Structure formats: C-alpha cells, structure tokens
Structure 1
Amino acid sequence: MQALQGADQPLPRDKPEGTMRNRDAAHASSWLSRDLTHKLLKVAPAAYRTHVNDLLLTALAQVLCEWSQQPSVLIQLEGHGREDLFDETDLSRTVGWFSSLFPVRLTPQIAPGASLCGIKEQLRAVPDKGIGYGVLRYMGEASFAQQLAALPQARVTFNYLGQFDGSFNEHQGALFVPSADSTGTALCEDGPLGNWLSLNGQVFDGQLQLDWSFSREVYHASTIDTLARRYEQALTTLIEHCTAGHQGVTPSDFPLVRLTQAQLDGLPIAAGQIEDIYPLSPMQQGMLFHSLFDEGAGNYINQLRVNIGGLDVPRFRSAWQAAVDHHDVLRSCFVSQREQSLQVVQRQVTLPFVELDARGQLESWLDDWAQADRQQGFDLAQGPLLRLAVLRTAADAWHLVYTSHHILMDGWSSSRLLGEVLQRYSGQMPAKQAGRYRDYIQWLQHQDAALSERFWTAQLAELDEPTRLLQAFKSSAQEGGYGAYIQLIDADGTRRLNAFAREQRVTLNTLLQSAWLLLLQRYTGQSSVTFGATVAGRPAELPGVEEQLGLFINTLPVIASPRAEQTVADWVQQVQAKNLALREHEHTPLYDIQRWARNSGEALFDNILVFENYPVSEALQRAPDGLVFSDLRNQEQAHYPLTLVVEATEVLSVRFSYDRQHFSAEGILQLAAHFDHLLQSLCAPATTRLGELALPTVWTQSVQRYPSEHCAHQRIEAQVERNPQAIALSFGDQQLSYQQLNQRANQLAHKLREQGVGPEVRVGLAAERGLEMIVGLLAILKAGGAYVPLDPDYPQDRLSFLMHDSGIELLLTQASLLGKLPIPEQVQMLDLA
C-alpha cells in the first residue's frame, strides 16, 4: 500500500470523454534493430546486473514521466504467475491460467545509470514478484480489499513476453511458425479495453517489437506514435550507456546482507570486480577479530611445506589457478565496516605464485625463507588470501611453500583442494560443484536462534566457572611465540584405544575428549570443566556439503562434571551423548554462547582439542604418476594458549601447540605424559571407577630444566662423565650403563659416517623394541643425521609409503626383519648388530 499511495495526476488524454471498447482499439509499434536487440539481450544487462525487463521498464518510466510531467508513474505489470514459492510444488508443466497483475510505482532519475539502478531496486522490492497483490485484492479480507481498490490505479499495463526466435526457427526444427493471416476477432467488440495503454513486447526474428494498444476515441494516433518513437530513443540511450563500460551494483544483488547504496559505493573493491557479498560464518567472525586484534601474532596463518619430485611447474601453476577460478571462497576477501563485516567474492584474482632457484641452499635457508613468508601475513581486505612458492632445490626437485589464511577453509577443505589441484594437474576435470559456500551462509540465516539459546543455556547451567588450564601451571615462562610438542601413541596403543572404543560403541574422538576432561578436572580442581571442541559443522541437509570448500568448522564448549564414583563405561557414554546432543546446535556462534553464560561474555576456556580425520598426506598419496611428495610439514596457529591437534592414523599423533608466554616446554611434557596415562587408563576394565584412575606421582614433582642449547646425545655424554656406571637402559633382564650405551652408539655412529650420514641425511630406523633400537637412535644423532622411526609391525603399504615419503637414504635395521620390510632399491642397509 505504501508504494501505491500518493496524489497521482492522471496520464494526459487527448479526448478524456472518449469510449474505451475493444472496437475502439488501435495500435502503434516500437522497434529495435537486430544489433541493438542483441546488445539489449546479451550485453547491456551485465553492466548493472539487471534483467531485460529492468531496461524496458526504465525507458518506459522515463518516457511516461516526461509526457505526464510527473516524478513517478504507476504501471501495471503482467507476469506468468508461476512463481517458485513452495519447495514441494512445481507449476512449470501445469496447464491453467496463472497470470498475475500487480501495480508498481517507478521513479526514474536523470542519469541513465542512476535511473536504471533505482528502478531495478524498486522492482526487486516487490515481494514474490507481485503475486500476493491479486490474492489480497480479490481473495483477502473485504476491508483491506476496499482500501486497495481506493488507491490510485495504474493506467498503463506492460508485459514482456520474452524471446520467440528459438520457438519459431524453422532451421532449428520448429514445428510451427507465425502466420501472416488474420486470426479474426478474439474479444467481444463491445467489451472494455484492458487499460488506457497496454504494451506487449517480444523478440522475434532477432528484433524487439513493442506493441502499443490504445483507444482511438481517447488518443490521437500521432500522440501514441510519438511516445513509441521516444521510447525507442530512450531505450537506445540506456543500451548505449550500459555497453560503454559502465558498471554498478545495487543492494538487491546481495540478498544475504543488508547494505545501502552508500555502503556499497564505499567498498574498496570496484563494482565490476564484485561477484557476491555475504556475511561471515561464526568461526570466520572470530578469526577475523583475532587476526585484526593482534596482527603481528600470526594467528590463523597456515603454512604447508612439502618436497616435490618430477614437477611440471607451469602445469602445477595452471592447476592451482583453475581451482581458484572454480571456487568462489578462494576469491574471497573480508571487509570490516562500522556496522558489520562482509565477505566479498571477487570475480577474478590471480594467485600469487613465486618461483625461485634455491639450488645449493641449506635446509636452514629454506626454513628462514618460509618463516619470513609466513610472517608477511595477509591483508584480509585484499584477496586472494593464499599464495604459493616453488623453490627449486635440485635438477628435478622442488620445495613447495603454500601459505594461506585459515579464514578461507577448514582442514577438510584444504585436503579436498589439494586433491582437486592434483586431479587438474593430471588433466582430469573434477566433478561439478554441488553447491557454494554462500549456500551454507544462507542456511545459517534460517536457523532457530531461540532454540539454540535454550539448548546452550541448559548446557551452561552445569558449568560453575570458566576453565583456565594455564592458571594451574603458574608458569614463569617469558619466551615469545608458540612452541610445539608432538606426542605419538604407538601402533599397539592405538589399536587398544580403537578396540576399546568399538567395545563401548563410542568414537576414538570421544575417548580423547573423555581423557582430556578428566585431566582438566585434576589440574584445575574444578568439579565441572570445559574445553573447546572443534566440530565439522557441515549440515547434512545441505546438498553436496561434503564436497564444498570453505570454513564450516566451529569451536564449541564441551561441558562435563566427571564423578569419582562413575565407571569408565558410564563416563565415555556420557561424553558421547554430549557430543551427539550438540550436533543439532553446532552452528551456534561461540560469542553467543559466552554471552548466554552470563560471565560478561568472557572466554569459557583457554584450550581446544581438534580431532582431524582428513590428513593432507592421504591427498598427496593420490598424486599422478611422475610426482613424488615427501617430508610434509604443516604449521597452524590458533589464538588459544594451548591447542591439541589429534591426527588418527595407524599411529595416533597429538600435537601440543602452546603459547610460550604461558606454558613452559617442561610443563607441556608433563601435561602430555599425564594425558597419555589417562588415555591408556581408560582401556582398563569398563567397570573401573574414575576415582581409581590416578596420575603418576613422579610427574607431580618438580621438573628439571635442561639447557635448550644441548642436543639429546650431548646430554647423554655429559651424564657419562658425571656417572658412567649408572644404569641408562633396562629392558627385561638386559641393562646398559651410560658408558656402555655411549660406547656402542659411538661405534655405530662411525659406521654411519662412513656410509655418508651427516646433516640433512635421513636414516630409517626399523628395529624390535629393545636396547639395540635406542643404541641405533643415539648413533644416528651422533652422526649428525635425522632418524625416521619405522615400526616393523606396520602394514607393508604403510611402511613403503613412509620410506618413500620421508626420503630416507639409509636403513638401519636387524637381519631378522629384512624379510618383513619393503626396502626401496636405492636405499642402503646397515645392520644394527
């Protein structure tokens, strides 16, 4: 009603008292040349992201307003009425009369671009393409229908029927073509005309034709013919403007955000370069805040490094660029305005790709180069937020440094991206993308926030106070940056954990969370504790979500109150149930949850646990023939003081990434040992009570601080001088003193040096558990090499991959194991004995 209200002056009429019967109908025509019609249909709409109808109506509004000397005009639009309003209803093949008629007020501007953009927005503001008007006018409440009837009436009807070239093209096999013969009278001659002016447009034989129908008893033919000529001129001016390089966007182009035209015009990205704009996901908002809050910290800047053999660099670069072109999320940048933060997808970006010759450079030089590249960070307002460098290290060897901002993708997406790049590199086209990241953002906007608030409020009722693990340490560490420690649980231990998880019908992730919650309770002394769990966040109801790239993960609090009298079985089932319960609400923003906790919005935890089931190494294993990947390194850093990243393969790996300002290396070692102990303790009889799972007392004593500048073998040698006869190793009934251990290691180290072992040389170590394994490890360190542990109980294909992936040049093993090991031809062997 608001759009129709106003004191409208009626359109001019030559003979106001004239009759308006079908017998009084006369016609005039507007035409466009084939060239202008082609531009209208194929070129002009791209300038301002309009439809053909927008241009036709803008020209009409301009002509009618100039004729009537009014700033706006009411036009009745006719549509097909088959709108896609209901998911379960498809009217595309239904026979019936669905046409809709509705009025719209159009207000043109003086400048062509401003006029077109303004009318485009006026048309987009009509809900459901006007189908509701007829429902309210003729089927709604009588009082409201009367109000609509009393409003000013549109005296011009417009209907654009579309293109009929294909329908009637004899060369394309059309069954029918229009006849030049008259169809005769279709309407009662004494019936009323539809409106003062009725315009029907269509494209036939490559030309736009617009028919003007009017009453000759009301208008002179010359009047309407003049309007038809002016319309041709106005439409031509619009088309020429749109095809002259002008470009612009309007708020209706981006329905997922609420922006004014002034806000759009203020964006630091040219209108023609903008493909889409939408809000950030909850996790993206958090990452954006922490990235901008402490720009120099390097938070959420990820870096993957890997050695590549047999690389075709131009083809590799093309494959990456094709992936960037294909996925809108890889062309996104992030703009913060005063009211909101926006995710802007750019139409085209060129992937930064550096190619350097690093032959003759040491490994340390590569490390320094990669670190400097990572420290550059990213300007989040300027895409793309990923870059690659290929450093040539030998005639047929390269070192890839792939740096990206975590705000673009989660780990699952990164693994899929690498797989797609390798697929493109091999000449294969990836499957068609089922959806886009914007679909997920749109899905988020339709979730029930009130329902999530009720769920999380109930969960938070169990938590007495935030869980601050770092306060339990009271560390005096003053170092800067982040440190890392990797804890490995051997194949036997991993198998036991998986077997117990299957027995209890829980996931391995649940066991890890159960142990971590127990550890938090023991360290903090709180009855109820929480930590941040990173969830996948991909809604099952979103088609193709598993194949999409983007940041779907979210970090949510897992809150629990383990009781001493609980059995292990009951405890792990409780944790599993909590994870299942939050699945329906895992999209909830963490900042909302913290607000609902009524702790002034402060953080609920200072540590997070991430369970990864998408190792990048698996994507690299599927590399096309000729490509060889080895020595994979992946560096990630969140803003939390402590992050645990678990990678589940045959050997469970737990990476502790910690802020050195809050945690010392010794403290992390203690924490890791306690975590390992509690995790393994869960595999005790399921009826064991949690209160019976004690921490080793030795670890609660003070930890000796060792000089960080001394290597492990140097510390052994120092112990030899202090106490040579003290027992260094004990295995069954076998023992070695520090002196004996050092002597045997020195002897083996000399043999290794004779085989060429030195700095940067990787040596595989495959041995049964026992004294010889430790002797071999120490000998490799003394020779200056790097050891690669190989468990002889691993499957053959796993061992083969590790040997190739690590690039070992020599294998230190035992004669009894030679038949079990798939040793590459180029690898030398040396017996431990």
Structure 2
Amino acid sequence: RQAGLHSDIRQLFGAADLAALAASLSGDSALVAAPANGIPAEGCEAITPEMVTLTALSQAQIDAIAAQVPGGMANIQDIYPLAPLQEGILFHHLLGGEGDAYLLYDLLAFDSGERLNGFLASLQQAVDRHDILRTAVLWQDLPEPVQVVWRKAPVQVETVALDPADGPLAQQLEARYHPRRHRIDVRQAPLLRGFAAAEAGTGRHYLQLLYHHLAIDHTTLERLLDEVRQLQQGQGASLPPSLPFRQFVAQARLGVGAAEHEAYFRAQLGEVDEPTLPFGLSGTQEDGSRQEEWRTWLPMALADQLRQQARRLGVSVACLAHLAWGQVLARAVGRTQVVFGTVLFGRLQGGAGADRALGLFINTLP
C-alpha cells in the first residue's frame, strides 16, 4: 500500500512464491471506490434520498430515521448499510434475551475523580474524531438495517451509588452491569456506555465501560485507548486524520456481489444439513461463566515438523491447524463432515489506511 500497490487474499494464497505474488500486484485502482457522502459536511437541515449514496431510502424513511436522532437531520452526518458481520451481530443482538453476547466491557480504576473526569473528557474527544464511534444502528420499518453517523454523540456515563457493605465496589459494578445480564440500546450513539462509582474515604473511582461489537473490535479498542492516552498527554495535534468507516462498507458490499457470495457458499456447504454439535451439546453450560480455557506450547520439534509438512503441501501452518481441529470435531460429533468458524482479519482487505482505522474489521468464515 505504501508503494501504491494492491493485493488481496486470493492473490496472496494463490501465489506459489514471491515472484508470482509480485507479478499479480496491481495499482490501488483495483480497490472499490466508495461514492462520496452526499450530505454536506455542515449546515445541512434537510436530507434527501440522492444525498444517501450507499443505500436506497425514500424520503419518508429518511424522515423516520431523523425522528429517532436527537437534533433531527441537523445531527446526521451520514447514513449507510451494515457490513456483513455487523448484520450477523445485529441478528444475534435482536435474538438475545437478558444479556448480549456481543457486548464487551472493561473495568477501569482511577485514584481520583479528577483522573476519571480527565479520562472521560479525552474519551469524548476521541468519539468526536471518529465516525464509527458516533454511530447508531436502526432497522425498524426500513428495507435493510442502516448505521447512522451522528455529528454530536455525547458519551453517556451514569454515576451509581453502591453500598460498601455489599462487597468491594469494583465487584459490585462489574456484576451489576455485566453483559450476561445487561444490554444497551444500539439505536443510540455512541455504542459506548459508562457506569461510575466512587469509593468513600479513599478517593478511588471505578468505571465499568461497555462497548458493542457492532462498532468496536479488539484492534479498534486498542487504538481507541491509545488515542485517549495521547490526548491526555496533550499529543492530540500529532494524531493522524480519522478515516470514515463507509469506505470499508463500500469495499465489502460493492465488490463481489451478494449473489456470487451466496452461490459460492451454497456450493461449499450445500451438503451440510445439521449443525456441528460436539457431544450433542447445543449451547454453553448455564450462562457461560463456567467455561474454561486451556493453552499449551507445542514442542519445538513438533512445530518444526508442522512447518515442514506445510511447505511440502504448499499450504500455511494455519491450514494444518484448521484441519486438525476439524478432525477433533469429527471425532466429537461422530460425523465426517463438520463446520466451524474461523475469524478473519478484515483490515488486510479494508483498503488504504485500514490498519489504523476504527471500526469492526473482522469477519467469520465457515
């Protein structure tokens, strides 16, 4: 990208060696160009259908969207559809009950109220900078779900009064607003919520920060917290310009068509007629809190053998690991055909600047 050249996943894994990969490189013109946002950057009091360039909406539908945004049309910067994984996450959000599997959280501690307020002020500055952090998701009475970028989206932080007699404040805060039992309204931007509590006599303050996977993946959270740190240190002027998430949406939706995607996966998965359920278990035990995770390091000799085998077969070590996991599932299910998901790092194909853009850039490949 720095050299003005482009490659995609198909070229990367289809090339037998570096020379073949080099021969397949092309200019950035191979990337899908997102049509410009037709809503004026400022002073727009009325939005018409031709201003919304990534999805087709009638005037009545735009009016209905504006009615759900504080400040109406004057507070709408952009409207565009969801990327494919966002659609899947929204589906599970709407399907869910008490909690939300795609609501994530961090519990932060500060040694004073001033430190907490300084963090929140810098967090608001970061939200002001990035479209995806000022995004709400709407779907009711619309042809397809859309994300609406607000011009102004104040971070909502609720101060909670907790009784120390009920246990440590940090544990109380985490338990009360844990994603297993708490949800946020994704129709309200930003998709961040904060709940703060002060510890009497110590000056210590806690902040339970909730954020939704519809807008934020792990890399985005790292970028966001690093930006907050730089803002707190007075380095805001050195931050790179923010990049709109609409480019990634255009790349995902205007490249390969939905019909081609569907035809491909029907061909790959058409014979699969039941889910892969190890030992017949269709869900996590209870609320998922009793799940255990185990990691181990492979012996160096075995790791070397895997690399050598991958070279012999002309595949990556990751492909061998996926095959091994498929064999494990096949034994646990008692079937020769199993399906599981692997997470893809979508920033590799997100276009120029995707490595530092904020937003949801992952996808799950069956």
The question of a shared fold, defined as TM-score above 0.5 by the shorter chain, is answered with yes
Aligned to 2:45: 247
Distance in 1 (CA, whole Å) between partners of 2:215 and 2:175 is 21
SS at match of 2:349: coil
Aligned: 1:271 with 2:271: no
Aligned: 1:313 with 2:313: no
In structure 2, the CA distance between the partners of 1:440 and 1:478, relative to structure 1 (3 Å rule), is closer
Structural mapping, 1:206-285, within 5 Å? 247-267=45-65, 268-269=68-69, 270-285=72-87
The number of equivalent residue pairs is: 313
Distance in 1 (CA, whole Å) between partners of 2:306 and 2:198 is 45
* Aligned partners of 2:130 and 2:358 also within 8 Å: yes
| Amino acid paired to 1:368 | Q
In structure 2, the CA distance between the partners of 1:498 and 1:251, relative to structure 1 (3 Å rule), is farther
In structure 2, the CA distance between the partners of 1:246 and 1:253, relative to structure 1 (3 Å rule), is closer
Distance in 1 (CA, whole Å) between partners of 2:153 and 2:292 is 37
In structure 2, the CA distance between the partners of 1:356 and 1:424, relative to structure 1 (3 Å rule), is farther
Distance in 2 (CA, whole Å) between partners of 1:515 and 1:523 is 13
Distance in 2 (CA, whole Å) between partners of 1:452 and 1:343 is 22
Structural mapping, 1:96-115, within 5 Å? none
Aligned: 1:352 with 2:156: yes
Aligned to 1:381: 187
Aligned to 1:442: 250
Post-superposition Cα deviations, 1:559-592, rounded to whole Å, max 9, x if no partner, equal xxxxxxxxxxxxxxxxxxxxxxxxxxxxxxxxxx
Structural mapping, 1:322-341, within 5 Å? 322-336=125-139, 337-341=141-145
SS at match of 1:482: coil
SS at match of 1:323: helix
Distance in 1 (CA, whole Å) between partners of 2:342 and 2:98 is 26
**Which one has more relative contact order, counting CA pairs under 8 Å at least 6 apart?**
2
Structural mapping, 1:457-536, within 5 Å? 457-460=266-269, 463-470=271-278, 472-473=279-280, 480-490=286-296, 493=298, 499=304, 501-503=306-308, 504=310, 509-510=318-319, 512-536=321-345
Percent identity between matched residues is 28
Aligned to 1:405: 212
* Aligned partners of 2:130 and 2:243 also within 8 Å: no
In structure 2, the CA distance between the partners of 1:246 and 1:319, relative to structure 1 (3 Å rule), is closer
Displacement of 1:306 in angstroms is 4.1
Aligned to 1:432: 240
Aligned to 1:745: none
| Amino acid paired to 1:436 | P
Displacement of 1:246 in angstroms is 8.8
Displacement of 1:372 in angstroms is 2.2
Taking structure 1 as the reference length, the TM-score comes to 0.34
Aligned to 2:172: 368
In structure 2, the CA distance between the partners of 1:478 and 1:294, relative to structure 1 (3 Å rule), is closer
Distance in 1 (CA, whole Å) between partners of 2:188 and 2:284 is 35
In structure 2, the CA distance between the partners of 1:291 and 1:246, relative to structure 1 (3 Å rule), is closer
Displacement of 1:361 in angstroms is 6.1
Distance in 2 (CA, whole Å) between partners of 1:489 and 1:478 is 19
Distance in 2 (CA, whole Å) between partners of 1:373 and 1:457 is 40
Post-superposition Cα deviations, 1:440-465, rounded to whole Å, max 9, x if no partner, equal 1111232122543454344336x543
Distance in 2 (CA, whole Å) between partners of 1:507 and 1:309 is 48
Distance in 1 (CA, whole Å) between partners of 2:166 and 2:316 is 43
| Amino acid paired to 2:46 | G
Structural mapping, 1:100-179, within 5 Å? none
SS at match of 1:299: coil
| Amino acid paired to 2:52 | F
| Amino acid paired to 1:256 | L
In structure 2, the CA distance between the partners of 1:520 and 1:327, relative to structure 1 (3 Å rule), is same
In structure 2, the CA distance between the partners of 1:485 and 1:246, relative to structure 1 (3 Å rule), is closer
Distance in 2 (CA, whole Å) between partners of 1:327 and 1:302 is 19
Instruction: Point out where structure 1 has 5 or more consecutive residues left out of the alignment.
Output: 1-86, 89-123, 125-244, 558-833
| Amino acid paired to 2:330 | Q
Post-superposition Cα deviations, 1:175-212, rounded to whole Å, max 9, x if no partner, equal xxxxxxxxxxxxxxxxxxxxxxxxxxxxxxxxxxxxxx
In structure 2, the CA distance between the partners of 1:348 and 1:501, relative to structure 1 (3 Å rule), is farther
Aligned to 1:138: none
Aligned: 1:303 with 2:105: yes
Displacement of 1:531 in angstroms is 0.3
CA RMSD, 1 decimal? 3.3
In structure 2, the CA distance between the partners of 1:522 and 1:376, relative to structure 1 (3 Å rule), is closer
* Aligned partners of 1:327 and 1:549 also within 8 Å: yes
SS at match of 1:333: strand
* Aligned partners of 1:433 and 1:548 also within 8 Å: no
Displacement of 1:309 in angstroms is 5.3
Structural mapping, 1:719-758, within 5 Å? none
Instruction: Indicate the structure with greater strand content.
Output: 1
Post-superposition Cα deviations, 1:327-354, rounded to whole Å, max 9, x if no partner, equal 1111111111342111111110110124
| Amino acid paired to 1:432 | P
Aligned to 1:664: none
* Aligned partners of 1:434 and 1:544 also within 8 Å: no
In structure 2, the CA distance between the partners of 1:260 and 1:412, relative to structure 1 (3 Å rule), is same
Post-superposition Cα deviations, 1:365-387, rounded to whole Å, max 9, x if no partner, equal 53332232233411121222211
SS at match of 1:554: strand
Displacement of 1:484 in angstroms is 3.8
In structure 2, the CA distance between the partners of 1:334 and 1:478, relative to structure 1 (3 Å rule), is closer
Distance in 2 (CA, whole Å) between partners of 1:512 and 1:391 is 45
In structure 2, the CA distance between the partners of 1:376 and 1:458, relative to structure 1 (3 Å rule), is closer
Displacement of 1:556 in angstroms is 1.7
Larger radius of gyration: 1
* Aligned partners of 2:137 and 2:186 also within 8 Å: yes
Post-superposition Cα deviations, 1:470-526, rounded to whole Å, max 9, x if no partner, equal 5x2469x99742234333335x54766755554446766545433321111001121
Displacement of 1:253 in angstroms is 1.9
Distance in 2 (CA, whole Å) between partners of 1:485 and 1:340 is 35
